[in-house]
Amino acid sequence: MISIVKDKDGNIKTFSESLLEDYNKSLGESIELLNTTLQEYSRRFMLSIEGITGQTFSIGMSEFDLTVIVSTNLDLVSVVVEINGVTETIPLTEGKGHIILSTYNPGTFIITPADRKTFCAAGNGLLVVEVQPNE
Q: Give which of 69, 11, 74 is closest to 42, Cα–Cα.
A: 74
Q: Identify the three-state secondary structure at position 41.
A: helix
Residue 100 is part of a domain; what is its CATH number? 2.60.40.1930
User: Does the pLDDT at position 91 exceed 90?
Assistant: yes
Confidence bin at 118 (pLDDT 50/70/90): very high
Same-domain status, 32 and 47: no
Domains identified in the chain, total number: 2
Same domain, yes or no: 91 and 26: no
The pLDDT tens digits for 8-67 are 999 998 888 887 666 667 688 888 889 999 999 999 999 999 999 988 999 999 999 999
Domain of 13, in residue numbers: 1-42
List of residues 6+ apart from 85 with CB closer than 8 A: none
30: which residues sit within 8 A by CB, 6+ positions away?
Answer: 5, 6, 23
**pTM for this model (two decimals):** 0.89
Whether 70 and 129 map to the same domain: the answer is yes
Same domain, 38 and 101: no
16 lies in the same domain as 47: no
Q: Within this chain, do residues 36 and 59 fall inside the same structural domain, yes or no? A: no
Please list, in sequence order, all residues whose beta carbon lies within 8 angstroms of the beta carbon of residue 112, skipping any fewer than 6 positions away: 81, 82, 121, 125, 126, 127
